[in-house]
């Protein structure tokens, strides 16, 4: 790693935008991991708030070049994820499935598909938790790769799940009040 890129990564991770994003990631992961007894509507409102915060802070992520030629495997096992998703499924109750179009700006993609809040939350959690665990390892290659994962995932995977889930949550909450 060159000195110039190390400084830019260091500046990036200490800046307000990234610090706010990491806080929102930690808050979301903690919320998903903790088994709470909120009623269904209150739980949905908490999920909605976490997703909105993630999306807003994720929009400000900056890309970094991967200078370390190192690959990292997912750190969250399927078993770990299943332990998180099982109680989450119960909390969603009947507020799980919804309809949407993959890309509403694509005139050739107008077929509705069934979305699943459990799948959305699970994918968001998995992407963010894997990158967070990698980030927390603290090595230069790990931090660099985690920053890249956060930003790439926002633009190509978890950001889509986040916005679709937020849209569906709006209607689930309206229907339950």
Q: Dump pLDDT digits (tens) for 23-32.
A: 999 999 999 9
Domains along the chain with CATH numbers: 3-176 (1.20.120.1550)
Q: What angle do CA 167, 55, 118 make, to 5 degrees?
A: 55
Do the Cβ atoms of 118 and 90 come closer than 8 Å?
no
Residue matched to tokens 């929009």: 59
| pLDDT tens per residue, range 40-99 | 899 999 999 999 999 999 999 998 888 887 888 888 899 999 999 999 988 998 899 999
Residue 36, pLDDT > 80, answer no
User: For 66, how many CA atoms within 13 A lie in the half-sphere containing its CB?
Assistant: 15
pTM over cut 0.75? yes
Sign of CA dihedral 157, 159, 165, 171: negative
Do the Cβ atoms of 57 and 28 come closer than 8 Å?
no
**What are the Cα distances from residue 159, in Å, to 105, 122, 150?**
16, 13, 10
């Amino acid at each position: 790693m060159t000195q110039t890129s190390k400084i830019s990564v260091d500046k990036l991770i200490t800046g307000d935008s990234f610090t706010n994003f990491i806080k929102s990631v930690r808050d979301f992961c903690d919320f998903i991991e903790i088994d709470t007894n909120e009623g269904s509507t209150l739980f949905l409102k908490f999920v909605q708030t976490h997703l909105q915060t993630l999306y807003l802070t994720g929009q400000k992520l900056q890309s970094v070049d991967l200078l370390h030629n190192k690959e990292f495997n997912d750190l969250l096992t399927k078993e770990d994820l299943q332990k998180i998703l099982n109680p989450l499924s119960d909390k969603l109750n009947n507020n799980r499935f919804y309809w949407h179009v993959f890309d509403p700006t694509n005139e050739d993609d107008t077929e509705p598909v069934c979305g699943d809040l459990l799948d959305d939350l699970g994918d968001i959690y998995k992407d963010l938790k894997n990158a967070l665990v990698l980030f927390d390892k603290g090595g230069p290659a790990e931090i660099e790769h985690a920053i890249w994962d956060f930003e790439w995932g926002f633009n190509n995977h978890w950001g889509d799940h986040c916005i679709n889930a937020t849209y569906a949550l709006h209607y689930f909450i309206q229907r339950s009040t």
